[in-house]
């Protein structure tokens, strides 16, 4: 028989050290074991106490109480706290380094771009541009810097074009005004009625020329703004050319040029036989075609032919060609004919009938429609010039 000496509760409590704080752990559900007791003594030691009953033949005959100092737990807690503190310092250092790196790679370059834009805005002229080191970067900052520099260059180019346009306009308007002034001064000095009538005829002619010139200048100045606000739409080309040919046939004189339409059809599956279409603003496209056809008519021989051809141009484009049987274009002037106020006309045509802006406006419209307008000569096998050919290339509408 096992005999266990009895220990009174009071004497057991007397053996416990002075307690500063106690941690009471909850009992686990379904467990018969009592949770351990954890104390922190006044002198800072951590104690863990486990109490278990002593059972013999179904009767509790005593208890076993084990108390142990848990200094290892303190060391572990200290190590964990030190690790957390160290990780916090490392994270803080990384945050500072990352902020410094972002400041060098993003914030400062953006500030440099802002300073460059501010300097260009404050009339620094073309002596200043975006720093090369920023444009040379191969990241988003470099792309932004290059875009800003290209925008500035485009703006300066547009300003140059406006200055040239203003100078050209002033020159073209000055000529008829000088003629009108001279005619008026002469008419005031002479008494011959017939000469005065001739001078008045000259004045009327110059006034009409001024009116035509101002109308074309106004149209040229509106093209960019109008097309920037207008969304291109799907426009079938062949029906427009057919209507123009019918109108020409109804109004042309006996020896006037004949318009011949030759239009290919769409060959894509599901659109077989339909007319080819382009992305354009219909009113402006009609204006371009009228300018080119009118130009061809003025250079065509009596009873000549003008071909209006529509065909696929490949790579998603459609070409519209206007060909005549005139004298053609001097090779050295295939580009200069698109300059503003270029007015080389047939010898039989009276001076001042055209402002010289028609082809320039036509190219301006086609360029805004993401197309191209080019001039070339029709030639035979031997290279002899058979006439002029203007080709309008526009994006194909799908």
pLDDT (tens digit, 9 = 90+) per residue, 262-318?
Answer: 999 988 888 888 999 999 999 999 999 999 999 999 899 998 999 999 999 988 999
Residue 261, SS3?
strand
Q: Look at residue 12 in the predicted model and tell me its pLDDT.
A: 43
Residue with tokens 């848990």: 70
Would you say 317 and 395 are in contact if contact means Cβ atoms under 8 Å apart? yes
Neighbours of 198 (CB within 10 A): 14
Q: Say yes or no to pLDDT of 337 above 50.
A: yes
By CB neighbour count within 10 A (0-12 exposed, 13-18 middle, 19+ buried), where does 247 fall? exposed
Contacts 24+ apart (CB under 8 A), 203-209: 205/352, 206/176, 206/177, 206/179, 206/180, 206/352, 207/176, 207/180, 208/352, 209/176, 209/352, 209/355
Neighbours of 385 (CB within 10 A): 15
Q: How confident is the model at residue 9 (pLDDT cuts 50, 70, 90)?
A: very low
Cα(first)–Cα(last) distance of the chain, in Å?
A: 106
Q: Look at residue 21 in the predicted model and tell me its pLDDT.
A: 54
| Overall residue count recorded for the chain in this entry | 398
Residues 6 or more apart from 392 whose CB is under 8 A from it?
A: 288, 289, 292, 319, 320, 321, 322, 366, 371, 372, 373
Q: Look at residue 8 in the predicted model and tell me its pLDDT.
A: 45
- E-assigned strands of 215-264? 233-236, 258-263
CA distance linking residue 388 with residue 98, whole number of Å: 66
Q: Say yes or no to pLDDT of 357 above 90.
A: no
CA distance linking residue 352 with residue 5, whole number of Å: 137
Which one-letter DSSP state was computed for residue 104? Answer: I
Q: Look at residue 2 in the predicted model and tell me its pLDDT.
A: 46
Q: Look at residue 10 in the predicted model and tell me its pLDDT.
A: 44
Would you say 243 and 235 are in contact if contact means Cβ atoms under 8 Å apart? no
Closest residue by Cα to residue 200 from 211, 188, 213, 210: 188
**Averaged over 325-346, what is the pLDDT?**
84
CA distance linking residue 337 with residue 363, whole number of Å: 11
Torsion of CA 315, 320, 325, 327, to 10 degrees: -70
Strand partners, 62: 54
**Averaged over 129-143, what is the pLDDT?**
81
User: Across the chain, which distance is largest between two alpha carbons, in Å?
Assistant: 164
**Averaged over 324-328, what is the pLDDT?**
93
- Domain architecture of the chain: domains with CATH: 9-69 (no CATH), 80-155 (no CATH), 230-398 (3.30.565.10)
């Amino acid at each position: 028989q096992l005999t266990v000496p009895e220990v009174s509760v009071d004497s057991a409590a007397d053996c416990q050290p002075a307690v500063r704080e106690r941690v009471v752990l909850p009992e686990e559900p379904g467990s018969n074991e009592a949770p351990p007791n954890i104390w922190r003594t006044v002198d800072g030691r951590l104690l863990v106490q486990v109490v278990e009953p002593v059972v013999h033949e179904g009767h509790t005959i005593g208890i076993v109480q084990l108390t142990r100092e848990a200094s290892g737990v303190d060391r572990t807690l200290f190590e964990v706290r030190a690790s957390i503190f160290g990780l916090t310092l490392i994270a803080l250092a990384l945050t500072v380094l990352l902020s410094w790196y972002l400041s060098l790679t993003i914030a400062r370059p953006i500030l440099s771009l802002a300073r460059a834009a501010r300097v260009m805005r404050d009339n620094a002229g073309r002596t200043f541009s975006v720093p090369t080191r920023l444009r040379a970067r191969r990241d988003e900052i470099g792309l932004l810097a290059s875009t800003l520099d290209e925008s500035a260059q485009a703006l300066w180019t547009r300003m140059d074009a406006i200055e040239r346009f203003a100078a050209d306009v002033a020159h073209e308007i000055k000529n008829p005004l000088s003629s009108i002034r001279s005619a008026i001064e002469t008419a005031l000095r002479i008494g011959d009625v017939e000469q005065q009538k001739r001078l008045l005829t000259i004045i009327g002619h110059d006034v009409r020329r001024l009116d035509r010139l101002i109308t074309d200048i106004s149209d040229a100045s509106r093209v960019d703004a109008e097309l920037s606000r207008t969304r291109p739409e799907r426009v079938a080309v062949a029906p427009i050319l057919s209507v123009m040919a019918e109108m020409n046939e109804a109004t042309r004189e006996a020896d006037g040029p004949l318009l011949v339409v030759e239009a290919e059809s769409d060959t894509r599956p599901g659109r077989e036989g339909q007319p080819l279409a382009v992305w354009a603003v219909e009113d402006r496209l009609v204006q371009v075609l009228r300018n080119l056809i009118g130009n061809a008519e003025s250079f065509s021989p009596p009873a000549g032919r003008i071909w209006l051809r529509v065909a696929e141009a490949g790579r998603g484009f459609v070409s519209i060609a206007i060909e005549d049987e005139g004298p053609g274009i001097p090779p050295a002037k295939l580009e200069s004919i698109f300059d503003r106020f270029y007015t080389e006309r047939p010898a039989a045509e009276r001076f001042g009938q055209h402002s010289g802006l028609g082809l320039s406006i036509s190219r301006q419209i086609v360029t805004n429609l993401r197309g191209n307008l080019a001039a070339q000569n029709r030639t035979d096998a031997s290279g002899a010039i058979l006439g002029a050919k203007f080709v309008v290339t526009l994006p194909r509408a799908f």
